[in-house]
Structure 1
Amino acid sequence: MKTKVILFLSGVVLGTGALQAQANQECATTAALAYSDAKAKNYDAAWTRIQTLREECPSYHIATYQYGERILKDRLDNAPDAEKESVAQELIKLYKERLQHFPAKTDAGDVNADIAQLMFDVKLGSTEEQYEAFDKAFEADPNSLNAKSLYTYFYLLVELQDSGKKDLQEVFDKYDVVIAKLEEQENETAESLASLIEKQEAGEELSSKDKARLNAYEKNLVAYSAVKGSINAKLGQRADCTNLIPLYSKDFEAKNGDTEWLKRVNSRLSAKDCTEDPLFVKVSEALHKLEPSASSAYSLGQLAEANGNQSKALEYYNQAAELQKDPSARASIYYKIANQYKDKGQFGQARNMYRKAISSKPSFGRAYLQISNMIAQSANNCGNTAFEKRAVYWKAAEYAERAARVDPSISSTANETASAYRGRAPQRSDIFQNDMQGKTINIGCWIGESIRVPNL
């Protein structure tokens, strides 16, 4: 009897194994045909098989979902408006299935971000639901939202605030977070671009991959600049002193012992130059008393500057820069200090501060442009001969060109400046008459750099 039972169970196991093998073979055959059709852009035939794979072999291969996404995106692009919603819903379902069956090979943050952007683009759900989708993606992984999605995220919040469903403080808080994330991405891109520019300027031939990266970095910087401008425009008059002063004044007595609240208010009032209102003085003093910081030191610097005490203002600004942990904010402080030195004609000290600003924020094109202008202003004082003095303009042009490349928002002005300075530099006839082609000129005075004369 036992022998019969064992033989029966063995038959069941073997039969199950055979059925499983057959199922696997059918999945493999269906997948091969589906993927082949998809590669050939025979999307209708491929989609029928993709559907079969999703139902019967959902964990067979991630390519099922990759090709499915390609097919549905094509359908979405070509669908009439009346059908876009149903195609988008199917694409969202596909995204979720991929995350379910291939979690190790799927970035959840990216999936949530794709779903959020899709909902907005196709107008799925209410404004609240669209915003919640972006908020879910951002809170889970801030890096999941690209420049376009970050703008959409903020845009939806402002729309909700305009309709009375979000308060103004939340808009300000989210603005700070979104701008900080954009500037972080912008700085990383500018830093990568700077290393490639340095290779070019050193005469090194870039590989095809490096050229592609350089092109991508420059395009991305243009995108970041445009998105930041759009976000600032969307914030509009909501962030002016007329709105800020009453908003924060009503909470001051209750929150003047809250360091984090004081920091946010101080930063916002300072950024919008609401420094003449008594509230700014009260906030700055309360903050500095509770926790001397970059923010409080900077505010006290502004107060000292407003009272005409420039030396005290510089002292506070330097302290603020040293205490500031946020690179973008630190760069702005160094830039302000540099401008003060520049206005006093102390170009060497000014350049040191502009360089510190650039070190903190590699995409700070305005700092490069200021150095360019100081060098140009010093042309008559930093050369021994007429040729050397005019050669200083080549160095000024280099800095202006660098400004244009790292900061697309000022590229037009920077390129015009570079062109003007190159026009003042020695021309071909000057180089030939002075026999200077290919030679290196060491520029004296505070500049202390060299320039290589172009070959004819």
Structure 2
Amino acid sequence: MKKITYIIAGLFFMVGSLNAAAFNNGLSNQECTVEYNLYKGDIQAKNFTEARKRLDNLMENCPTLSVNIYKYGYKIAEDMLAKGEREEAVRLYSKIMDTRIIHFPKDLGKVFDSLVNFLKKSGYTHEELFQHLDRAYKEDPSAMSAKNIYLYFEMVMLRNKDIDVQLILDTYDNINDALDEKAGRYQTRLSKLIAKEDGGATLSSKDAKSKRIAEGTLKNIGIVKAGLEQRIEELMTCERLVPLYRRDFAANMSNGQWLKRAVSRMFNKECTEDPLYEELAKAYAEADPSSDAYIFLSGILEKKGKKDEALEMRKKAIELEIDPVRKARHLLTIARDMAKKGQKSSARKYANQALASNPSYGKAYLLIASLYASSANSCGTNEFSKRMVYVAALNKAQRAAAVDPSIASTASKYIKNYKSNIPSKQMAFADGIKEGDPFKIGCWIGENVKVKLK
């Protein structure tokens, strides 16, 4: 019996020696796969000590087998940190990340963002984190977590508030552009899924999951954008912007991106009365004759009373834009301009065109809701019919919240306001009307709704 035991032990020793030799000289694909599966099993069993040995082996001999080698490796570093091995944990995490970047140089914004989260747990100060936050930002701001975007932006503001306001504005714009691009992708996905449901189809489990992810992502983007806007609000005044852009205009007359951002910000902050706005818009159109530029020029033509030319410019902008999400934004810009002029019916028309281009564009629904609510007194003949206009507004606001989670917080304020103004049960009872009855709202709205009561 002892002889057999010695033989088995000898075989294991030989296999172990052969494996050790194989590790030192590189592993075959099959050996890498076996080692990886054992490594994965150790991670799942939380046998991190043994997993650490296999991790070193895999990174040295099988570095391109799977990105999960590195993702699982982070768990080992997390375990070491939990056990109080701070310095060793940070060294291991950094080694894993550096090796991963060499062999899997993708999603680096997310990779650096995860490093920041790990270093936070390790007790790093904000100043020590800044360089890593900056790496994540420069790779892909949209991949950063909300907390890290806020932290990075706050640090940029603190460092540059008194010396380089333009850098702060550029950082803000870069983050927003990245978030807008990401939101556009998820809005397109969500629109298709909502269209399926509206058509009576039941979403598959895969589609239902995709819808939840899109809704969650859009909601988070909305929170981030709102938070950043609050932080930069003190810098976004005409008194600050006009001299800043006047100073840098000559150096950026052919810089399409700079001009677009300058014109957009002055438009959004209603600095359009300053002569600089028109100069910037014209320079933007020359530097980058795009749909965005034509939209801004159309507003200037409109202001000068050249309504026909302005309309043609808008049509040109919309025809030029092929991306449905961007086209919807242009159409909503026109709708808002019409709304400011009191042209409510035209504003609704363009808002509906925006929705035809991007069905999950909640801001278009909110504009229509506000147009309806502002017409309550003029579109009703008595107290009940006037309050029913708020029901129509409420329907649009609720639709906005349903299709566009990125504006959930804003939509909820509209909804709360409109709900407080719909007819009461006592008012309906006096007129012999029940909840759910059909009701036609008159004047320019001309919409059929069902009675809702509070």
Indicate whether the TM-score tops 0.5.
yes
> CA offsets per residue over residues 278-323 of structure 1, 9 Å max, x none?
333443455567776655554455556666x494696377357437
> CA offsets per residue over residues 405-454 of structure 1, 9 Å max, x none?
31213131243256457757999999xx99998x9999998667776899
The letter for the 2-side match of 1:40 is A
The letter for the 2-side match of 1:246 is P
**Partner residue of 1:368 out of 365, 381, 387:** 365
> Aligned pair 1:37/2:21, yes or no?
no
**Partner residue of 1:134 out of 133, 136, 150:** 136
Give 2:111's aligned residue. 114
Given that residues 396 and 421 in structure 1 are in contact (C-alpha distance below 8 angstroms), is that contact kept between their aligned partners in structure 2?
no
Give 1:6's aligned residue. none
Residue 85 (structure 1) shift: 5.3
Residue 402 (structure 1) shift: 1.3
**Partner residue of 2:314 out of 300, 311, 318:** 318
Give 1:50's aligned residue. 55
| Matches of 1:149 and 1:320, distance apart in 2 | 40
**Partner residue of 1:183 out of 180, 183, 186:** 180
> CA offsets per residue over residues 53-86 of structure 1, 9 Å max, x none?
445665666554342223323444x355xx5454
> Aligned pair 1:224/2:218, yes or no?
no
The structure-2 alpha-carbon separation of the partners of 1:75 and 1:297, relative to structure 1 and needing over 3 Å to count, comes to same
| Matches of 1:289 and 1:99, distance apart in 2 | 41
| Matches of 2:296 and 2:61, distance apart in 1 | 65
Residue 182 (structure 1) shift: 0.6
| Matches of 2:355 and 2:87, distance apart in 1 | 46
- What SS does structure 1 have at the residue aligned with 2:94? helix
Give 1:236's aligned residue. 233
The structure-2 alpha-carbon separation of the partners of 1:63 and 1:304, relative to structure 1 and needing over 3 Å to count, comes to closer
Name whichever of 298-307 and 266-275 sits farther off: 298-307
The structure-2 alpha-carbon separation of the partners of 1:373 and 1:47, relative to structure 1 and needing over 3 Å to count, comes to same
Given that residues 390 and 424 in structure 1 are in contact (C-alpha distance below 8 angstroms), is that contact kept between their aligned partners in structure 2?
no
Residue 110 (structure 1) shift: 1.6
- What SS does structure 2 have at the residue aligned with 1:41? coil
> CA offsets per residue over residues 203-234 of structure 1, 9 Å max, x none?
54444444433333332222101111222233
Give 2:77's aligned residue. 72
- What SS does structure 1 have at the residue aligned with 2:272? coil
The letter for the 2-side match of 1:171 is I
Matches within 5 A, 1:343-382: 347-359=344-356, 364-374=361-371
| Matches of 1:75 and 1:453, distance apart in 2 | 62
Residue 114 (structure 1) shift: 1.4
Give 1:410's aligned residue. 410
| Matches of 2:66 and 2:284, distance apart in 1 | 57
The letter for the 1-side match of 2:220 is A
Give 2:8's aligned residue. none
The letter for the 2-side match of 1:118 is L
| Residue ranges of structure 2 left out of the alignment (5+ in a row) | 1-16
Residue 353 (structure 1) shift: 0.4
> CA offsets per residue over residues 74-132 of structure 1, 9 Å max, x none?
444x355xx545423312311332344xx4xx4x2324531244136534884663254
> Aligned pair 1:96/2:98, yes or no?
yes
| Matches of 1:318 and 1:360, distance apart in 2 | 16
| Matches of 1:216 and 1:242, distance apart in 2 | 41
Given that residues 116 and 132 in structure 2 are in contact (C-alpha distance below 8 angstroms), is that contact kept between their aligned partners in structure 1?
yes
Q: State how many pairs are aligned.
A: 422
- What SS does structure 2 have at the residue aligned with 1:275? coil
Given that residues 266 and 284 in structure 1 are in contact (C-alpha distance below 8 angstroms), is that contact kept between their aligned partners in structure 2?
yes
The letter for the 2-side match of 1:266 is V
What's the C-alpha RMSD, in Å, of the aligned pairs? 4.9
Give 2:4's aligned residue. none
Matches within 5 A, 1:303-342: 303=300, 309=305, 311=307, 315=311, 318=314, 321-322=317-318, 325=321, 331-339=328-336, 341-342=338-339
The structure-2 alpha-carbon separation of the partners of 1:285 and 1:197, relative to structure 1 and needing over 3 Å to count, comes to closer
| Matches of 1:269 and 1:243, distance apart in 2 | 11
Give 1:279's aligned residue. 276
Given that residues 134 and 153 in structure 1 are in contact (C-alpha distance below 8 angstroms), is that contact kept between their aligned partners in structure 2?
no
Percent sequence identity over aligned pairs: 31
Given that residues 392 and 425 in structure 1 are in contact (C-alpha distance below 8 angstroms), is that contact kept between their aligned partners in structure 2?
no
Residue 367 (structure 1) shift: 1.9
| Matches of 1:209 and 1:234, distance apart in 2 | 38
| Matches of 2:79 and 2:236, distance apart in 1 | 41
The letter for the 1-side match of 2:48 is Y
| Matches of 2:236 and 2:376, distance apart in 1 | 42
| Matches of 1:163 and 1:117, distance apart in 2 | 31
| Matches of 1:32 and 1:281, distance apart in 2 | 64
Given that residues 293 and 323 in structure 1 are in contact (C-alpha distance below 8 angstroms), is that contact kept between their aligned partners in structure 2?
no
- Higher relative contact order by CA 8 Å / sep ≥ 6: 1 or 2? 2
The letter for the 1-side match of 2:157 is V
Given that residues 190 and 214 in structure 2 are in contact (C-alpha distance below 8 angstroms), is that contact kept between their aligned partners in structure 1?
yes
| Matches of 1:153 and 1:34, distance apart in 2 | 36
> CA offsets per residue over residues 218-263 of structure 1, 9 Å max, x none?
3222210111122223333333223322222234455556666544
Given that residues 335 and 353 in structure 1 are in contact (C-alpha distance below 8 angstroms), is that contact kept between their aligned partners in structure 2?
yes
Given that residues 191 and 358 in structure 2 are in contact (C-alpha distance below 8 angstroms), is that contact kept between their aligned partners in structure 1?
no
The structure-2 alpha-carbon separation of the partners of 1:414 and 1:118, relative to structure 1 and needing over 3 Å to count, comes to same
| Matches of 1:61 and 1:290, distance apart in 2 | 46
- What SS does structure 2 have at the residue aligned with 1:109? coil
The letter for the 2-side match of 1:354 is A
The letter for the 2-side match of 1:231 is L
